Amino acid sequence: MTYILAHKFGDSCYFVQVLKNKWNEIYDPEFATTFASKESALNWSKENTTMGEYAVVLNRDRQLTKFKRWAASGMIRRKFDVVNKKISRPYNGETPLEILNWYVSYKQDADNVRYEDYETWPDLYTVYKHIWGIQTYDEKDYSKTYISFSMCVKKKSTFEKFISELRLILPFITYIEDGYKYIDIFDHYLSEHGNSATFYYKSDDDCKLEVRYGDEIAGDLKTIYKYWKKERYYN
């Protein structure tokens, strides 16, 4: 069996052609350098490129067949869905909860929403007292996207209002670390010089607040809230 080396970035895969003092990324596997074993291919990538973590070793004959099929299709570069008209629409006075739901849907299908529609929707921090924004985190290979939020606590905040808004976003959070739902903290430091903090929620009885250049505070939700309001408040 003959092997060829490729570097894979999400859905994109480029074959490696080794020259005398350089190497090329190419589309056609027929011109890719062949290797006698998987080990030798991986070792070459680790020793001669800065992309060893993206290296994959593939069966040459199988890739030739796939390439010929791709060439016969017209060499499709990318595939697109049409605009999602259920989401790609201007803001029209929706309620705060409808706005929150719209942002969750948008984050799941942002590529199919027109920017001119997106920019009409109010930011979450203008609608809610504690929900600041929504963000996504990708797997390293971009195979999955996870949703999370950022929240703030102000000096005049109440625990009851905070927890009511927290309850709204918890079902949507899919970014989880060690069983804890991950929420960024927006505070008066504004992450200056990397001074950021994160809220981790597992249950009302099991929460954490981690400060990048400080300690980890663990306890029930009310304990964390009191610390947050005192130390990591937003003006």
The domain of 29 spans 3-72
pLDDT in tens, 206-216: 999 999 887 89
The answer as to whether 113 is a domain residue is no
The answer as to whether 110 is a domain residue is no
Between 64 and 191, name the one with better pLDDT: 64
Distance CA 144, CA 138 (A): 6
* Residue type for position 175: Y
- Taking CA atoms, 73 is separated from 62, 77, 82, in Å, by 17, 10, 20
Distance CA 154, CA 142 (A): 35
Residue 64 and residue 141 share a domain: no
Residue 141 and residue 61 share a domain: no
Nearest Cα to Cα of residue 27 among 73, 62, 71: 71
Distance CA 54, CA 46 (A): 10
Spell out the residues 6+ positions from residue 56 whose beta carbon is closer than 8 angstroms to its own: 5, 6, 7, 8, 13
Domain count, the chain: 2
The pair of structure tokens assigned to 193 is 């010089």
Burial class (CB in 10 A: 0-12, 13-18, 19+), 151: buried
Neighbours of 80 (CB within 10 A): 7
Residue 65 and residue 136 share a domain: no
Last residue in a domain, options 31, 51, 72 = 72
Residue 136 and residue 54 share a domain: no
Nearest Cα to Cα of residue 47 among 57, 36, 37, 39: 39
**pLDDT band at 100, cuts 50/70/90?**
very high
Please name the residue that has the structure tokens 């990324």. Answer: 25
The answer as to whether 114 is a domain residue is no
Residue 149 CA neighbour count, 13 Å, CB half: 25
The answer as to whether 86 is a domain residue is no
pLDDT in tens, 152-173: 999 999 999 999 999 999 999 9
The answer as to whether 224 is a domain residue is yes
Confidence check: pLDDT of 62 > 80: yes
Residue 134 and residue 37 share a domain: no
The answer as to whether 89 is a domain residue is no
Residue 147 and residue 221 share a domain: yes
Residue 129 and residue 225 share a domain: yes
Distance CA 69, CA 6 (A): 18
Confidence (pLDDT) at 140: 83
Residue 130 and residue 63 share a domain: no
The answer as to whether 42 is a domain residue is yes
Residue 216 and residue 136 share a domain: yes
Nearest Cα to Cα of residue 106 among 131, 93, 89: 89
Residue 226 and residue 141 share a domain: yes
The answer as to whether 180 is a domain residue is yes
